[in-house]
């Protein structure tokens, strides 16, 4: 089968499309013919070993996992003898978690993994871009326990995680303010934000407003300054935090009446099903800026790494 592989850490050009062995499903697995995947921040950071600490998990000198890609949409081509929930021909989408491997024509996934039937109303490319941002946003929003009527501020509201956070919070009845650049104001309004702040013209920490939840989806905040914009017992979500922000957040949680949530996400099939239901209700729509063929995976990585994409970038396989 065709796959984009990398055998060394480095720039986008280390990704090369080659022929590799097609996987075979185990008794509890599905063989999925991938039709689309996506390029997310986790992919390019792992590709270049940023931060360096990823090498201690994924290979110190060379990557242990040579096929990146953590999301997919495609068709079930074969099922193991113990599989009960899916059948050949089912159109599915999902998240590979730490297995990666979706920059390829085929992948094997356990039937109890983060997989669901693809909504009929969207394409494979649209389905593939949903799980990364959607699952990340949902993980933290569930931990924060967002309630109807709460005021939620989303920083980086036009990105993969931020656009998902805006829509999920709105579906729960929150009053959402999105923070983005001038060019993305219309987009953020279109996905349901009640108000949009242009960070090039206004600093939300200086406008006197307070919020029950502040969700930083892009690691753009000064934690110390922004925590002042939280209401009493407010919650700050740092979904893309580095170690300095995580340590600062831990200190704030221990020494004040405010809580900072960071850390590694966890997810399961129920989360993909939740997102599927939101899509079918018309409460969540994929935000996709560009689509590249698998043969242009290096160009797609280079674009995403610049950090200015709107929503998601899909890869058609």
Percent of the chain with pLDDT over 90: 84
Tokens of 214: 């502040």
Q: What average pLDDT does the segment 3-25 reach?
A: 97
pLDDT score, position 267: 84
Q: Is the per-residue pLDDT at 272 higher than 90?
A: yes
How far apart are the C-alpha atoms of 226 and 29, rounded to whole Å?
A: 45
pLDDT score, position 188: 97
Q: Is the per-residue pLDDT at 298 higher than 90?
A: yes
Query: Angle at CA 114, nearest 5°, toward 66 and 170?
Result: 115
In the block, tokens 């005021």 appear at: 151
pLDDT score, position 222: 87
- DSSP 8-state symbol, 21: P
CB 194 within 8 A of CB 144: no
**Main-chain phi, psi angles of 235, to 5 degrees:** -125, 135
DSSP percent split of the chain into helix, strand, coil, nearest 5: 35, 30, 40
pLDDT score, position 245: 87
Say what the alpha-carbon torsion angle 197, 202, 206, 212 is, to the nearest 10 degrees: 10
pLDDT score, position 247: 87
* Residue 197: C-alpha distances to residues 33, 213, 214, 228 (Å): 42, 16, 13, 17
What is the Cα 166 distance to its own chain's centre? 13
Q: What average pLDDT does the segment 249-277 reach?
A: 91
**Main-chain phi, psi angles of 14, to 5 degrees:** -70, -15
Q: What is the pLDDT of residues 36-77, one digit of tens each?
A: 999 998 899 999 998 888 898 899 999 999 999 999 999 999
CB 99 within 8 A of CB 32: no
Q: What is the pLDDT of residues 149-177, one digit of tens each?
A: 999 999 999 999 999 999 999 999 999 99
Sign, CA torsion 16/18/20/23: positive
pLDDT score, position 224: 85
Q: 15-29, 80-94, 212-226: which range is least confident on average? A: 212-226
Q: What is the CA radius of gyration of the chain?
A: 19
3-state secondary structure of 209: coil
Which residues 6+ apart lie within 8 Å of 309 measured at CB? 159, 160, 289, 290, 303
Domains, the chain, with CATH or none: 2-129+286-316 (3.90.180.10), 132-261 (3.40.50.720)
């Amino acid at each position: 089968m065709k796959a984009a592989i990398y055998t060394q850490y480095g720039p986008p050009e280390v990704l090369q499309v080659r022929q590799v062995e097609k996987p075979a499903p185990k008794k509890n697995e599905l063989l999925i013919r991938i039709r689309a995947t996506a390029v997310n921040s986790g992919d390019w950071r792992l590709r270049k070993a940023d931060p360096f600490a990823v090498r201690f998990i994924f290979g110190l000198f060379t990557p242990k996992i040579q096929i990146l890609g953590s999301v997919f949409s495609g068709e079930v081509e074969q099922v193991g003898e113990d599989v009960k929930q899916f059948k050949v021909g089912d159109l599915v989408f999902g998240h590979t978690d730490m297995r990666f491997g979706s920059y390829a024509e085929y992948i094997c996934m356990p039937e109890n993994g983060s997989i669901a039937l693809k909504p009929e109303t969207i394409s494979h490319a649209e389905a593939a871009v949903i799980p990364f941002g959607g699952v990340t946003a949902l993980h933290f929003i569930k931990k924060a326990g967002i309630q109807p009527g709460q005021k939620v501020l989303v920083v980086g509201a036009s990105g993969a995680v931020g656009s998902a956070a805006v829509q999920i919070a709105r579906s729960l009845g929150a009053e959402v303010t999105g923070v983005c650049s001038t060019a993305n104001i219309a987009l953020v309004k279109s996905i349901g934000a009640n108000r949009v702040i242009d960070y090039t013209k206004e600093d939300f920490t200086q406008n006197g407003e307070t919020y029950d939840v502040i969700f930083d989806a892009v690691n753009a905040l000064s934690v110390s300054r922004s925590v002042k914009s939280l209401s009493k017992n407010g919650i700050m979500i740092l979904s893309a935090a580095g170690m300095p922000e995580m340590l600062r957040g831990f200190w704030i949680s221990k020494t004040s009446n405010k809580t900072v949530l960071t850390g590694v996400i966890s997810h399961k099939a129920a989360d993909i099903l939740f997102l599927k239901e939101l899509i079918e209700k018309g409460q969540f729509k994929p935000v996709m800026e560009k689509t590249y063929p698998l043969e242009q995976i290096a160009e797609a990585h280079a674009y995403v790494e610049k950090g200015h994409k709107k929503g998601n970038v899909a890869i058609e396989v």
